[in-house]
């Protein structure tokens, strides 16, 4: 079974397709980077897999079923793009991550000791074990980002879709996150990671898909894409001889740590 299978997929909002003509098959256990410049459609592609953007045409299958089927619930982990948890919710780290575990149990589930252990493990995995009881709002942006990663990990998903998990996360935390993802990948979880910074995750992600104007412009080894588009630039088959363009985000403060690595 393929974890992800798109055929002629058109995905967008309302009746406007942002992503179109996309054929993409991701096998179980693969670790794939989704690269591309700002606004190219990476997030829309990822959201399409979650049923959060509209499939306007073609086929989008996730874990063997058309997207949006209830049986997928809990089998797919998602770290959304916005890097902070809403400050309006006075929840603790334990509570937010616990929600990830609830998704696995279903709407009437209760967290059992094994579930609480999974929550603690996930929080420890992202290096926040000492903040379990703290309000999420008291954490830094990068730490909140890691809480969202832990929330996804707690569900022990078969497919983990992450949208810029390293954005706004400092170098040490990026390395820790890479180690966590390596572990998760080693257990057979399929990873699909939208990112502008491949350096931190280069040891984990092996394949890259470069999205350009809503279409796939490159699909192959990460090393081949990273040389040109790894930092969010367009893929130029002939190469330009210029350094890759930097992705620039207006909506997310971020710490760029991959320079020189």
Give the interface with ligand ATP as residue ranges (CB under 6 A): 13, 18, 36, 38-44
Identity of the residue, 14 or 188, whose beta carbon is nearer to ligand ATP in the bound complex: 14
Closest CB 198 distance from ligand ATP, rounded Å: 14
Q: For residue 79, how many C-alpha atoms fall within 13 Å in the half-sphere facing its CB?
A: 29
Question: Which of these, 77, 100, 78, 212, lies nearest to 157 by C-alpha position?
Answer: 77
Identity of the residue, 38 or 120, whose beta carbon is nearer to ligand ATP in the bound complex: 38
Contact 231, 247 (CB under 8 A): yes
Closest CB 72 distance from ligand ATP, rounded Å: 21
Q: Which residue has the tokens 């740590």?
A: 257
Supply the DSSP string of 140-192, one letter for each residue. Answer: -HHHHHHHHHHHHHHT--SEEEEESTTTT--HHHHHHHHHHHHHHHHTT-EEE
Token pair for residue 103?
């998704």
Q: Which stretches of the chain are DSSP H helices?
A: 42-50, 93-105, 113-125, 141-154, 171-186, 222-229
Closest CB 67 distance from ligand ATP, rounded Å: 16
Closest CB 114 distance from ligand ATP, rounded Å: 36
Question: Which of these, 261, 128, 124, 143, lies nearest to 200 by C-alpha position?
Answer: 261
Q: What is the DSSP letter of 137?
A: G
Q: What is the DSSP letter of 96?
A: H
Identity of the residue, 13 or 220, whose beta carbon is nearer to ligand ATP in the bound complex: 13
**End-to-end CA separation in angstroms for the chain:** 36
Closest CB 11 distance from ligand ATP, rounded Å: 9
Identity of the residue, 43 or 174, whose beta carbon is nearer to ligand ATP in the bound complex: 43
Closest CB 92 distance from ligand ATP, rounded Å: 29
Closest CB 167 distance from ligand ATP, rounded Å: 9
Identity of the residue, 16 or 88, whose beta carbon is nearer to ligand ATP in the bound complex: 16
Identity of the residue, 39 or 253, whose beta carbon is nearer to ligand ATP in the bound complex: 39
Identity of the residue, 13 or 109, whose beta carbon is nearer to ligand ATP in the bound complex: 13
Question: Which residue number is nearest to ligand ATP in terms of Cβ?
Answer: 43
Task: Write the CA distances from 152 to 33, 155, 237, 250, integer angstroms.
Answer: 17, 6, 35, 25
């Amino acid at each position: 079974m393929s974890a992800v299978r798109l055929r002629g997929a058109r995905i967008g909002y309302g009746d406007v397709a942002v992503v179109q003509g996309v054929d993409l098959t991701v096998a179980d256990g693969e670790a794939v980077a989704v690269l591309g410049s700002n606004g190219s459609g990476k997030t829309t592609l990822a959201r399409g897999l979650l049923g959060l953007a509209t499939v306007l045409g073609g086929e989008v299958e996730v874990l063997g079923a058309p997207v949006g089927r209830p049986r997928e619930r809990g089998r797919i982990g998602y770290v959304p793009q916005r890097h902070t948890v809403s400050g309006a919710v006075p929840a603790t780290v334990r509570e937010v991550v616990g929600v990830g575990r609830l998704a696995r149990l279903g709407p009437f589930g209760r967290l059992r000791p094994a579930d609480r252990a999974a929550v603690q493990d996930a929080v420890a995995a992202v290096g926040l074990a000492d903040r379990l009881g703290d309000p999420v709002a008291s954490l830094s942006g990068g730490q909140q980002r890691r809480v969202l990663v832990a929330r996804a990990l707690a569900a022990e998903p078969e497919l983990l879709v992450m949208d810029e998990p390293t954005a706004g996360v400092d170098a040490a935390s990026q390395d820790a996150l890479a180690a966590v993802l390596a572990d998760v990948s080693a257990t057979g979880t399929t990873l699909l990671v939208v990112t502008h910074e491949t350096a931190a995750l280069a040891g984990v992600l092996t394949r890259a898909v470069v999205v350009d104007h809503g279409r796939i412009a490159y699909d192959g080894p990460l090393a081949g894409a990273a040389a040109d588009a790894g930092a969010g630039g367009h893929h130029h088959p002939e190469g330009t001889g210029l350094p890759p363009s930097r992705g620039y985000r207006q909506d997310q403060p971020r710490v760029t740590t991959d320079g020189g690595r």
